[in-house]
Amino acid sequence: MQHGDSKPVHIITPANWRQYADRIHQQAMEKMEIQLGSFEESVFLGLAQAGEAGELANVIKKQWRDGQTEELHKAMRGEIADVMIYLDHLLNAYKLSATAIICEKVQELTERWPEYFEDFEPQKAN
């Protein structure tokens, strides 16, 4: 809660954002009488993800049509955040690791298109 010129009561950081996002999600599911871990939660998250992706696409369309503005850039940042938060909730609902499933998919793609990697040498991690 924030009043007037006072500082916010809750400060969101890279270390705690997920706790706050999870709390918001838990409260929304409780309000909708949806049990965490249920199929209904998955349906809600899938629909929410589709909606947020649509909102992001609309902002990008406006940038293409109207040009780049600070307002549209800010809107795009917000929509990307919404998409990422719902993806994070989906990963948690299905007990998936983003890194693991991305690695699996990229492995599949490198095998599908080996010609893309004939002269490719990935940089070594430090």
Model confidence pLDDT, tens digit, residues 78-91:
999 999 999 999 99
Q: Note whether residue 10 is domain-resident.
A: no
Question: Domain range holding 102?
Answer: 17-117
Residue 52: give its domain's CATH number: 1.10.287.1080
Q: Note whether residue 55 is domain-resident.
A: yes
Helices 70-93 & 98-112 angle (0-180, nearest 10): 100
Q: Note whether residue 46 is domain-resident.
A: yes
Count CB-CB contacts under 10 A for residue 40: 14
What's residue 125's pLDDT? 79
Q: Note whether residue 51 is domain-resident.
A: yes
Q: Note whether residue 1 is domain-resident.
A: no
Taking only the tens place, the pLDDT of each residue in 11-24 is 999 999 999 999 99
Report how many domains make up the chain: 1
What's residue 29's pLDDT? 97
Q: Note whether residue 99 is domain-resident.
A: yes
What's residue 55's pLDDT? 98
Burial code (b: 16+ CB inside 10 Å, e: under 16) for 81-117 equals: ebbebbebbbebbeeeeeeeeeeeeeeeeeeeeeeee
What's residue 1's pLDDT? 53
The CA distance from 126 to 124, in Å, is 6
The CA distance from 12 to 24, in Å, is 13
Q: Note whether residue 87 is domain-resident.
A: yes
Please tell me the pTM assigned to this model: 0.83
Confidence grade of residue 6 (pLDDT, cut at 50, 70, 90)? confident
